[in-house]
Chain A
Amino acid sequence: MPRLSAWAVRLSLLYLLLGFTVGAIMLANKGIPFAPWIWRLLPAHIDFLLFGFVIQLAIGIAHWILPRYQGGSRGKETLVWGAISLLNLGIWTVSCISLFNLPGQWLVVGRLLEGTAAVLFASQAWGRIRPS
């Protein structure tokens, strides 16, 4: 597994833990309410698991197993490093909005970062998806 994929997969496992932890606290609070403010963590719970775990894992694994170019190259890795960086920046931007009562415009920033990550990853992976 290349270094980049190992980073992405490890990060995704950390997000799985974070997302499960936040989710468990929210579920427990639903049973016996102890912290009404905990619902502010719902966007973070969703972003941690959907973007942090599922999407980041998919990017990491895809970078590892998609067909390589001639000579064994996986293409421009900097694009995927950029995608991973922007994705994580986007996740934390979105997650901090409700937690710190940031203005709603930050949601646009967060989604733009995540969207740019998708463009970077797609542009790198596109050429590797081809008939064998």
Chain B
Amino acid sequence: MPSIVRCYLKTALVMFILALGVGLVQNLGGILPFSPSSLTPVYFHLLMVGWVTQFILGVALWMLPKYSMEKPRGIQALSWAAYILLNIGLLVRAVGEPLNAYSSGLVWDWLLILSAILQWMGGILYVINAWKRVKVK
């Protein structure tokens, strides 16, 4: 299994554990100094983007038809860039969203915008590279 695929899959597993950890914190209600309801979108996106989507993207990167004999997985730099942008974007959101809910109007607002741009670019780069590998045989 190539290193890029291993990175996607192992990071997805870490996000899975992280998401369930956030889910646990969410249910600690009265014990915490902040409202755990602000963690709901973070929990959901760590689970659905960080775990489910990232795992799917990793497996697809591994098993889609080869682009060519020389470049079986297309332009690997695009897949690496997508991996980095997606995960940094997701983590920026995980930090920014609860802080934004706690006190908006500060730098946290811009963290959400940064996160949106990073994840969106990650998605675009992944699709650009994967698209060429989806071919009829």
Contacts and interface: CB of A to CB of B under 8 A. Distances in A.
A24 interface: yes
**Chain B interface, >50% SS class:** helix
The bracket for how many chain B residues form the interface is: 20 to 34
B56 A20 contact: no
Given A10-B131, A31-B110, A32-B109, A25 B116 contact: yes
B65 to A, nearest CB: 6
**Chain A interface, >50% SS class:** helix
Interface string B124-137: 10110011001111
Contacts, number: 76
B72 to A, nearest CB: 15
B22 interface: no
Given A30-B100, A31-B109, A13 B56 contact: no
B116 A28 contact: yes
A24 B56 contact: no
A13 B113 contact: no
A20 B120 contact: yes
Given A23-B120, A31-B116, A49-B48, 20 more contacts: A1-B134, A1-B135, A3-B136, A6-B136, A9-B64, A10-B134, A14-B127, A16-B127, A17-B123, A20-B119, A20-B123, A23-B119, A24-B119, A27-B112, A28-B117, A31-B110, A31-B113, A49-B53, A57-B56, A61-B60
